[in-house]
Structure 1
Amino acid sequence: MSDWCRNHFEITGKSPLLAVAEEWIKGETAPLYRHAVMQSIKIFLAGCGGLLRPVKTVSFPPFPELIRLGTGQSTLANQAYEQWLEYLQKDVPLDGQHIRLISRVYHQSDIGAIKWESIPELSRRQIGRLIEDRYADWFGVATLSRDIDVALCWEKLGQFPDRSQPCDLL
Protein backbone atom coordinates (compact mmCIF):
# COMPACT_ATOMS: atom_id res chain seq x y z
CA MET A 1 0.00 0.00 0.00
CA SER A 2 1.38 3.37 -0.91
CA ASP A 3 2.11 5.97 1.71
CA TRP A 4 -0.51 8.44 0.53
CA CYS A 5 -1.47 9.84 3.90
CA ARG A 6 0.55 10.96 6.90
CA ASN A 7 -0.64 12.37 10.16
CA HIS A 8 1.32 15.13 11.79
CA PHE A 9 1.07 16.54 15.28
CA GLU A 10 2.40 19.86 16.31
CA ILE A 11 2.73 19.97 20.06
CA THR A 12 3.65 23.22 21.68
CA GLY A 13 4.23 24.05 25.31
CA LYS A 14 6.85 24.53 27.95
CA SER A 15 9.98 22.44 27.66
CA PRO A 16 9.44 20.15 30.68
CA LEU A 17 5.89 19.39 29.56
CA LEU A 18 7.05 18.64 26.04
CA ALA A 19 9.52 16.12 27.43
CA VAL A 20 6.70 14.40 29.33
CA ALA A 21 4.55 14.37 26.18
CA GLU A 22 7.42 12.88 24.17
CA GLU A 23 7.92 10.12 26.77
CA TRP A 24 4.19 9.34 26.52
CA ILE A 25 4.25 9.30 22.72
CA LYS A 26 7.27 6.99 22.59
CA GLY A 27 6.08 4.79 25.46
CA GLU A 28 9.18 5.43 27.53
CA THR A 29 7.58 5.67 30.95
CA ALA A 30 7.11 2.92 33.50
CA PRO A 31 3.37 2.14 33.46
CA LEU A 32 2.81 2.30 37.20
CA TYR A 33 -0.98 2.56 36.67
CA ARG A 34 -0.88 -0.83 34.89
CA HIS A 35 1.15 -2.27 37.74
CA ALA A 36 -1.51 -1.06 40.20
CA VAL A 37 -4.29 -2.59 38.10
CA MET A 38 -2.47 -5.93 37.81
CA GLN A 39 -1.67 -5.92 41.53
CA SER A 40 -5.30 -5.14 42.33
CA ILE A 41 -6.57 -7.95 40.12
CA LYS A 42 -4.28 -10.40 41.88
CA ILE A 43 -5.39 -9.15 45.31
CA PHE A 44 -9.01 -9.36 44.14
CA LEU A 45 -8.53 -12.97 43.04
CA ALA A 46 -6.74 -13.86 46.28
CA GLY A 47 -9.62 -12.39 48.27
CA CYS A 48 -12.26 -14.25 46.28
CA GLY A 49 -10.24 -17.45 46.63
CA GLY A 50 -10.02 -17.01 50.40
CA LEU A 51 -6.25 -16.58 50.44
CA LEU A 52 -6.73 -13.13 51.97
CA ARG A 53 -9.49 -12.08 54.35
CA PRO A 54 -10.31 -8.84 56.13
CA VAL A 55 -9.41 -8.67 59.81
CA LYS A 56 -12.63 -6.89 60.82
CA THR A 57 -16.15 -7.62 59.67
CA VAL A 58 -16.87 -5.56 56.56
CA SER A 59 -19.44 -5.65 53.81
CA PHE A 60 -18.94 -5.17 50.12
CA PRO A 61 -22.34 -5.31 48.34
CA PRO A 62 -20.96 -4.81 44.79
CA PHE A 63 -19.03 -8.11 44.99
CA PRO A 64 -19.78 -10.14 48.15
CA GLU A 65 -17.39 -12.92 47.07
CA LEU A 66 -14.52 -10.71 48.26
CA ILE A 67 -15.58 -11.30 51.85
CA ARG A 68 -17.71 -14.45 51.63
CA LEU A 69 -15.41 -16.44 53.95
CA GLY A 70 -15.62 -13.88 56.74
CA THR A 71 -12.74 -12.52 58.74
CA GLY A 72 -9.24 -13.88 59.03
CA GLN A 73 -6.40 -13.71 61.52
CA SER A 74 -4.72 -10.38 62.15
CA THR A 75 -1.73 -11.01 59.90
CA LEU A 76 0.14 -8.39 57.90
CA ALA A 77 -1.27 -9.91 54.69
CA ASN A 78 -4.88 -9.75 55.89
CA GLN A 79 -4.41 -6.21 57.20
CA ALA A 80 -3.08 -5.21 53.77
CA TYR A 81 -6.10 -6.84 52.13
CA GLU A 82 -8.45 -4.96 54.42
CA GLN A 83 -6.69 -1.71 53.46
CA TRP A 84 -7.06 -2.58 49.76
CA LEU A 85 -10.79 -3.27 50.31
CA GLU A 86 -11.08 0.20 51.81
CA TYR A 87 -9.53 1.74 48.68
CA LEU A 88 -11.92 -0.29 46.56
CA GLN A 89 -14.94 0.84 48.60
CA LYS A 90 -13.84 4.47 48.31
CA ASP A 91 -13.28 4.03 44.54
CA VAL A 92 -9.96 5.87 44.78
CA PRO A 93 -8.50 7.33 41.57
CA LEU A 94 -5.33 5.81 40.14
CA ASP A 95 -3.24 8.87 40.82
CA GLY A 96 0.37 8.79 41.99
CA GLN A 97 -0.48 8.59 45.69
CA HIS A 98 -2.96 5.72 45.33
CA ILE A 99 -0.70 3.82 42.93
CA ARG A 100 1.98 3.87 45.63
CA LEU A 101 -0.51 2.80 48.30
CA ILE A 102 -1.76 -0.11 46.18
CA SER A 103 1.81 -1.18 45.53
CA ARG A 104 2.53 -1.04 49.26
CA VAL A 105 -0.46 -3.20 50.24
CA TYR A 106 0.33 -5.62 47.39
CA HIS A 107 3.83 -6.15 48.75
CA GLN A 108 2.58 -6.35 52.34
CA SER A 109 0.06 -9.02 51.35
CA ASP A 110 2.92 -11.06 49.85
CA ILE A 111 0.45 -12.38 47.28
CA GLY A 112 3.04 -11.90 44.54
CA ALA A 113 5.15 -14.68 46.06
CA ILE A 114 2.37 -17.27 45.97
CA LYS A 115 2.78 -19.77 43.14
CA TRP A 116 -0.27 -21.29 41.49
CA GLU A 117 0.70 -24.82 42.52
CA SER A 118 0.75 -23.88 46.20
CA ILE A 119 -2.82 -22.54 46.20
CA PRO A 120 -5.37 -24.99 47.68
CA GLU A 121 -7.53 -26.75 45.08
CA LEU A 122 -10.82 -25.17 46.15
CA SER A 123 -9.27 -21.69 45.93
CA ARG A 124 -7.73 -22.51 42.53
CA ARG A 125 -11.15 -23.48 41.17
CA GLN A 126 -12.70 -20.24 42.43
CA ILE A 127 -9.85 -18.11 41.08
CA GLY A 128 -9.81 -20.05 37.80
CA ARG A 129 -13.53 -19.46 37.27
CA LEU A 130 -13.06 -15.72 37.75
CA ILE A 131 -10.08 -15.60 35.39
CA GLU A 132 -12.08 -17.44 32.72
CA ASP A 133 -15.07 -15.12 33.19
CA ARG A 134 -12.99 -11.93 33.01
CA TYR A 135 -10.22 -13.09 30.68
CA ALA A 136 -10.91 -10.58 27.88
CA ASP A 137 -11.25 -7.68 30.34
CA TRP A 138 -8.08 -8.45 32.26
CA PHE A 139 -5.78 -9.82 29.57
CA GLY A 140 -7.13 -7.91 26.57
CA VAL A 141 -7.45 -10.80 24.16
CA ALA A 142 -10.69 -12.62 23.56
CA THR A 143 -10.29 -16.29 22.85
CA LEU A 144 -12.66 -18.66 21.12
CA SER A 145 -11.20 -21.55 23.03
CA ARG A 146 -12.32 -22.27 26.58
CA ASP A 147 -8.85 -23.72 27.24
CA ILE A 148 -7.45 -20.81 29.21
CA ASP A 149 -4.28 -21.54 31.14
CA VAL A 150 -5.29 -19.99 34.46
CA ALA A 151 -1.93 -20.84 36.05
CA LEU A 152 -0.19 -18.80 33.35
CA CYS A 153 -2.66 -15.96 33.85
CA TRP A 154 -1.95 -15.96 37.60
CA GLU A 155 1.77 -15.72 36.89
CA LYS A 156 1.28 -12.98 34.26
CA LEU A 157 -0.42 -10.81 36.86
CA GLY A 158 2.90 -10.72 38.71
CA GLN A 159 4.97 -9.71 35.67
CA PHE A 160 4.96 -5.94 35.44
CA PRO A 161 5.92 -4.28 32.15
CA ASP A 162 8.94 -1.98 32.20
CA ARG A 163 7.58 0.36 29.55
CA SER A 164 4.18 1.65 28.61
CA GLN A 165 2.69 1.32 25.15
CA PRO A 166 3.24 4.28 22.80
CA CYS A 167 0.41 6.81 23.25
CA ASP A 168 -1.16 4.64 25.95
CA LEU A 169 -4.49 6.21 26.85
CA LEU A 170 -4.97 4.14 30.00
Structure 2
Amino acid sequence: MIYGDLIAVEFAVLDALAADQQLKAWGIEPESLPGLSKHDELARLFRRHPAAGLYTPRGTFERSQDGNIQYECGRILILAAGANYRSPSAPRAGGPKLPGANHIISRCAQIITATWPEPTGNIADIKPKNWSLVWCNRQIAVCVLEIETKLARPLPPSPQEIKTYGASYE
Protein backbone atom coordinates (compact mmCIF):
# COMPACT_ATOMS: atom_id res chain seq x y z
CA MET A 1 0.00 0.00 0.00
CA ILE A 2 1.18 3.52 -0.77
CA TYR A 3 0.68 6.11 1.98
CA GLY A 4 0.40 9.81 1.17
CA ASP A 5 1.85 11.12 4.42
CA LEU A 6 2.57 10.23 8.03
CA ILE A 7 -1.04 10.86 9.04
CA ALA A 8 -2.15 8.09 6.65
CA VAL A 9 0.39 5.80 8.32
CA GLU A 10 -1.01 6.76 11.72
CA PHE A 11 -4.51 5.75 10.59
CA ALA A 12 -3.15 2.44 9.27
CA VAL A 13 -1.46 1.81 12.64
CA LEU A 14 -4.70 2.61 14.49
CA ASP A 15 -6.64 0.29 12.15
CA ALA A 16 -4.16 -2.52 12.89
CA LEU A 17 -4.53 -1.89 16.62
CA ALA A 18 -8.34 -1.73 16.40
CA ALA A 19 -8.42 -5.10 14.62
CA ASP A 20 -6.54 -6.86 17.42
CA GLN A 21 -8.82 -9.04 19.54
CA GLN A 22 -6.74 -8.70 22.71
CA LEU A 23 -6.90 -4.90 22.58
CA LYS A 24 -10.65 -5.12 21.90
CA ALA A 25 -11.02 -7.28 24.98
CA TRP A 26 -9.09 -4.65 26.92
CA GLY A 27 -11.35 -1.82 25.68
CA ILE A 28 -11.67 0.58 28.57
CA GLU A 29 -14.99 1.99 29.61
CA PRO A 30 -14.58 5.10 31.76
CA GLU A 31 -16.31 3.50 34.73
CA SER A 32 -14.00 0.46 34.64
CA LEU A 33 -10.94 2.45 35.70
CA PRO A 34 -10.99 3.82 39.20
CA GLY A 35 -10.19 7.51 39.12
CA LEU A 36 -11.86 8.20 35.74
CA SER A 37 -15.37 9.50 35.38
CA LYS A 38 -17.28 9.41 32.12
CA HIS A 39 -16.92 13.19 31.80
CA ASP A 40 -13.10 13.30 31.94
CA GLU A 41 -11.15 14.23 28.82
CA LEU A 42 -9.08 11.05 29.10
CA ALA A 43 -12.20 8.96 29.56
CA ARG A 44 -13.64 10.27 26.31
CA LEU A 45 -10.35 9.62 24.52
CA PHE A 46 -10.13 5.99 25.64
CA ARG A 47 -13.85 5.19 25.56
CA ARG A 48 -13.78 2.43 22.94
CA HIS A 49 -10.13 1.45 22.57
CA PRO A 50 -7.34 1.57 25.09
CA ALA A 51 -4.89 3.02 22.52
CA ALA A 52 -5.27 6.30 20.66
CA GLY A 53 -2.93 7.83 18.11
CA LEU A 54 -1.34 11.22 18.21
CA TYR A 55 0.80 12.38 15.30
CA THR A 56 3.69 14.72 16.04
CA PRO A 57 4.26 17.01 13.05
CA ARG A 58 7.98 17.49 13.62
CA GLY A 59 9.00 15.38 10.63
CA THR A 60 12.20 15.89 8.71
CA PHE A 61 13.12 15.22 5.11
CA GLU A 62 16.22 13.32 4.03
CA ARG A 63 17.56 12.28 0.63
CA SER A 64 18.80 8.84 -0.31
CA GLN A 65 22.45 8.24 -1.19
CA ASP A 66 21.74 8.42 -4.94
CA GLY A 67 19.52 11.50 -4.51
CA ASN A 68 16.49 10.00 -6.29
CA ILE A 69 14.34 9.35 -3.22
CA GLN A 70 13.24 11.71 -0.50
CA TYR A 71 12.37 10.26 2.90
CA GLU A 72 9.81 11.84 5.20
CA CYS A 73 10.86 10.89 8.72
CA GLY A 74 8.68 11.49 11.74
CA ARG A 75 7.23 10.11 14.94
CA ILE A 76 3.81 8.74 15.63
CA LEU A 77 2.83 8.63 19.27
CA ILE A 78 0.35 6.07 20.58
CA LEU A 79 -1.26 6.83 23.94
CA ALA A 80 -2.57 4.06 26.17
CA ALA A 81 -4.44 4.20 29.47
CA GLY A 82 -4.60 1.40 31.98
CA ALA A 83 -4.37 0.57 35.63
CA ASN A 84 -1.40 1.99 37.53
CA TYR A 85 0.23 -1.10 39.01
CA ARG A 86 3.05 0.87 40.62
CA SER A 87 0.67 2.63 42.94
CA PRO A 88 0.36 1.28 46.49
CA SER A 89 -3.42 1.36 46.21
CA ALA A 90 -3.55 -0.63 42.93
CA PRO A 91 -3.54 -4.39 42.45
CA ARG A 92 -0.17 -5.95 41.70
CA ALA A 93 -0.71 -7.80 38.42
CA GLY A 94 -2.44 -7.03 35.14
CA GLY A 95 -5.22 -9.24 33.98
CA PRO A 96 -7.69 -9.53 31.13
CA LYS A 97 -10.28 -7.37 32.88
CA LEU A 98 -8.06 -4.49 33.98
CA PRO A 99 -4.72 -4.36 32.13
CA GLY A 100 -1.95 -2.00 33.00
CA ALA A 101 -0.94 0.73 30.54
CA ASN A 102 2.44 -0.96 30.11
CA HIS A 103 0.65 -4.21 29.09
CA ILE A 104 -1.29 -2.29 26.44
CA ILE A 105 1.81 -0.48 25.15
CA SER A 106 3.72 -3.77 24.90
CA ARG A 107 0.84 -5.30 22.95
CA CYS A 108 0.74 -2.29 20.58
CA ALA A 109 4.48 -2.63 19.90
CA GLN A 110 4.03 -6.35 19.15
CA ILE A 111 1.18 -5.64 16.72
CA ILE A 112 3.15 -2.96 14.85
CA THR A 113 6.21 -5.20 14.57
CA ALA A 114 4.06 -8.12 13.34
CA THR A 115 2.07 -6.00 10.86
CA TRP A 116 5.12 -4.35 9.28
CA PRO A 117 8.03 -6.81 9.81
CA GLU A 118 9.85 -5.35 6.80
CA PRO A 119 9.48 -2.32 4.51
CA THR A 120 6.35 -2.47 2.36
CA GLY A 121 4.81 -0.07 -0.14
CA ASN A 122 6.43 3.30 0.43
CA ILE A 123 7.09 2.67 4.13
CA ALA A 124 10.87 2.49 4.26
CA ASP A 125 10.94 1.92 8.01
CA ILE A 126 8.48 1.69 10.90
CA LYS A 127 9.68 0.69 14.35
CA PRO A 128 8.36 1.06 17.88
CA LYS A 129 11.20 2.79 19.74
CA ASN A 130 10.50 3.38 23.39
CA TRP A 131 7.65 4.16 25.72
CA SER A 132 7.29 6.33 28.77
CA LEU A 133 4.80 7.25 31.45
CA VAL A 134 3.21 10.63 30.73
CA TRP A 135 0.57 10.94 33.44
CA CYS A 136 -0.79 8.95 36.35
CA ASN A 137 -2.75 9.17 39.52
CA ARG A 138 -3.09 6.52 42.24
CA GLN A 139 -5.30 4.27 40.12
CA ILE A 140 -4.57 4.83 36.42
CA ALA A 141 -1.56 5.46 34.22
CA VAL A 142 -1.23 6.90 30.73
CA CYS A 143 1.78 5.82 28.69
CA VAL A 144 3.02 6.83 25.26
CA LEU A 145 4.72 4.62 22.67
CA GLU A 146 6.98 6.36 20.17
CA ILE A 147 7.00 4.89 16.65
CA GLU A 148 9.75 6.03 14.28
CA THR A 149 8.42 6.16 10.73
CA LYS A 150 10.15 6.77 7.41
CA LEU A 151 8.19 7.18 4.16
CA ALA A 152 9.93 7.00 0.77
CA ARG A 153 8.94 9.34 -2.03
CA PRO A 154 10.52 9.38 -5.48
CA LEU A 155 11.63 12.86 -6.42
CA PRO A 156 10.16 14.39 -9.59
CA PRO A 157 12.57 14.91 -12.46
CA SER A 158 14.38 18.21 -12.53
CA PRO A 159 13.48 20.78 -15.21
CA GLN A 160 16.80 20.02 -16.92
CA GLU A 161 15.98 16.29 -17.08
CA ILE A 162 12.54 17.04 -18.53
CA LYS A 163 14.11 19.34 -21.13
CA THR A 164 16.75 16.73 -22.06
CA TYR A 165 14.70 13.51 -21.93
CA GLY A 166 11.14 14.75 -22.35
CA ALA A 167 8.14 14.91 -20.03
CA SER A 168 7.75 11.13 -19.88
CA TYR A 169 11.16 10.66 -18.27
CA GLU A 170 10.91 8.56 -15.13
Give the TM interval when normalised to the shorter protein. Answer: under 0.3
As a proportion of its length, which structure holds more helix? Answer: 1
- Could you tell me the TM-score, scaled by structure 2's length? 0.24
Larger Rg: 2
As a proportion of its length, which structure holds more strand? Answer: 2
